[in-house]
């Protein structure tokens, strides 16, 4: 058993825990076990029978009960690092939405966010008569609102936000190329805002990454020619299929040197790709509640992330589409809670490792491929913003105990 534990991706993090952290972890683990008996067992509380509460039950039904637990209160206070995978959809009032979004993140102990946005999405801005779908206007507003929030009282402690430009995968080639060109043009205007590129929309019915490879290679060439740095952060393997074209998106994403993989839900079925992810230091952005609500996994207990962690794949937890999926808040506490309550061998220390990963794999600034690889490999010992943020998180993590 202990030999197997050595292969876990959070092994080093666990081995380096301070004595206080070890003590606190065991207290939290006891609270978790206690609540398994007192809250998540209908035999202990027969009055709950009609509602049937049990470990790993459907997230949306469990939500009110989970928010009343002690474990929930602890998870809310935990420093969570960065939210690396979420989508900004169409919104009625962009400025108001963004301020609320950032405020919620800070209250949930999230310090940094990288959101995917398809900038043609219609939105309204203050004083404007009708909804705009001009990406130039959208990016201007995003940039301004991020800065405004960072310098406000509410934004104290917030590290900031960047955007992963997203095209829709089902678009025809011409439209995708046109959108990619917009992305490159706007990267020059807002270099700090745009951190990367992705293709979004349901993977199963959409175009495969293999069919999109000519466009993606064109994009990478064009970025080089125009001297801009826009790395790929691709969704891949958000499917229950085995050997299907969507499942095979994982191969293409890794070959295209995606720096992280969105979901990678089917990665656990691919021993060679698992090794490749470890070798290339690719992080999995895992969104357990999203996967459950969209019915990729039946419950948190059957989610594949523990299989990846135990085989040494690095991962971070994200919430994907919290507005649509029922978490009811843009924070990360629900996904963190589901993971710690659902996966016996994770513990608060396992959650800590996932949070630390989210900072290590965040794109705080533009980095060449070599700088990125060295940065994620060295972590605390790397140069630049990454190490500084990791240190800041570590201080918060220690004081959390």
Q: 193 or 236: whose CB is closer to Zn ion? A: 236
Using CB under 5 A as the binding rule, the residues of this chain from 338 to 377 that contact Zn ion are: none
Using CB under 5 A as the binding rule, the residues of this chain from 28 to 87 that contact Zn ion are: none
Cβ 208 to Zn ion shortest distance, Å:
17
Using CB under 5 A as the binding rule, the residues of this chain from 299 to 338 that contact Zn ion are: 320
CA 154 – CA 187 distance, rounded (Å): 28
Exposed (0-12), middle (13-18) or buried (19+): which is 369, by Cβ within 10 Å?
A: exposed
Using CB under 5 A as the binding rule, the residues of this chain from 222 to 241 that contact Zn ion are: none
- The number of residues that bind Zn ion (CB under 5 A) is 1
How many Cβ atoms sit within 10 Å of the Cβ of residue 99? 17
Cβ 261 to Zn ion shortest distance, Å:
11
Q: 69 or 117: whose CB is closer to Zn ion? A: 117
Cβ 216 to Zn ion shortest distance, Å:
18
User: Rounded to an integer, what is the distance from CA 38 to the centroid of its chain?
Assistant: 31
Cβ 116 to Zn ion shortest distance, Å:
7
Residue-wise burial string across 237-264, b where 16 or more C-beta atoms lie within 10 A, e elsewhere = bbbeeeeebbbbbbbbbbebebbbbbbb
Cβ 197 to Zn ion shortest distance, Å:
14
Exposed (0-12), middle (13-18) or buried (19+): which is 1, by Cβ within 10 Å?
A: exposed
Q: Residue 159 contacts by C-beta under 8 Å, 6 or more apart in sequence?
A: 82, 111, 112, 364, 389
Find residue 123's DSSP bridge partners: 91, 132
Cβ 262 to Zn ion shortest distance, Å:
5
Cβ 89 to Zn ion shortest distance, Å:
11
Q: 105 or 166: whose CB is closer to Zn ion? A: 166
From the list 26, 32, 186, 161, the residue with the least C-alpha distance to 106 is 161
Q: 10 or 320: whose CB is closer to Zn ion? A: 320
Cβ 294 to Zn ion shortest distance, Å:
10
Cβ 26 to Zn ion shortest distance, Å:
35
Query: Which residue carries 């943020």 as its tokens?
Result: 389
Q: 194 or 200: whose CB is closer to Zn ion? A: 200
Using CB under 5 A as the binding rule, the residues of this chain from 137 to 156 that contact Zn ion are: none
Position with the least CB separation from Zn ion: 320
From the list 70, 101, 103, 69, the residue with the least C-alpha distance to 86 is 101
From the list 313, 288, 232, 283, the residue with the least C-alpha distance to 386 is 283
Q: 200 or 346: whose CB is closer to Zn ion? A: 200
Q: 321 or 349: whose CB is closer to Zn ion? A: 321
Q: 21 or 209: whose CB is closer to Zn ion? A: 209
CA 5 – CA 76 distance, rounded (Å): 28
Check the CA dihedral 254-258-259-265 and report its sign. Answer: negative
Q: 179 or 320: whose CB is closer to Zn ion? A: 320
CA 224 – CA 390 distance, rounded (Å): 30
Q: 107 or 294: whose CB is closer to Zn ion? A: 294
Cβ 235 to Zn ion shortest distance, Å:
6
Q: 327 or 341: whose CB is closer to Zn ion? A: 327
Binding track over 243-272 against Zn ion, x by CB under 5 A: ------------------------------
Cβ 85 to Zn ion shortest distance, Å:
6
| Contact positions vs Zn ion (CB under 5 A) | 320
């Amino acid at each position: 058993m202990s030999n197997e534990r050595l292969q876990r991706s959070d092994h080093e993090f666990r081995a380096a825990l301070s004595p206080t952290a070890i003590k606190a972890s065991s207290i939290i683990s006891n609270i978790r076990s206690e609540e398994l008996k007192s809250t998540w067992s209908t035999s202990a509380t027969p009055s709950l029978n009609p509602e049937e509460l049990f470990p790993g039950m459907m997230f949306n039904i469990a939500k009110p009960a989970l928010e009343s637990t002690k474990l929930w209160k602890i998870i809310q206070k935990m420093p969570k690092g960065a939210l690396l995978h979420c989508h900004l959809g169409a919104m009625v009032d962009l400025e108001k939405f963004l301020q609320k979004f950032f405020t919620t993140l800070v209250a949930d102990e999230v310090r940094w966010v990288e959101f995917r946005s398809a900038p043609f999405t219609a939105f309204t801005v203050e004083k404007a008569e009708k909804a705009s779908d001009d990406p130039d206007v959208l990016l201007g507003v995003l940039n301004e609102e991020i800065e405004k929030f960072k310098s406000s009282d509410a934004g104290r402690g917030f590290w900031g936000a960047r955007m992963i430009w997203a095209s829709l995968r089902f678009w025809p080639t011409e439209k995708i190329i046109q959108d990619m060109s917009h992305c490159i043009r706007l990267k020059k205007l807002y270099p700090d805002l745009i951190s990367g590129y992705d293709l979004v929309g349901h993977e199963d019915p959409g175009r495969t990454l293999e069919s999109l490879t000519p466009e993606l290679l064109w994009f990478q060439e064009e970025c080089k020619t125009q001297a801009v740095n826009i790395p790929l952060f691709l969704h891949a393997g958000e499917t229950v299929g085995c050997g299907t074209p969507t499942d095979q998106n994982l191969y293409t994403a890794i070959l295209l040197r995606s720096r992280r993989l969105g979901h990678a839900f089917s990665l656990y079925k691919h021993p060679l790709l698992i090794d490749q992810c470890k070798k290339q230091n690719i992080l999995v952005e895992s969104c357990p509640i999203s996967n459950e609500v969209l019915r990729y996994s039946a419950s948190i207990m059957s989610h594949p992330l523990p299989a990846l962690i135990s085989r040494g794949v690095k991962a971070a937890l994200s919430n994907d589409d919290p507005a649509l999926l029922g978490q009811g808040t843009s924070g990360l506490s629900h996904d963190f809670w589901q993971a710690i309550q659902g996966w016996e061998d994770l513990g608060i220390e396992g959650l800590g490792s996932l949070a630390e990963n989210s900072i290590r794999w965040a794109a705080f600034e533009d980095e060449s491929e070599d700088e990125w690889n060295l940065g994620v490999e060295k972590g605390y010992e790397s140069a630049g913003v990454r190490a500084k943020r990791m240190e800041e998180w570590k201080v918060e993590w220690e004081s959390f105990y």
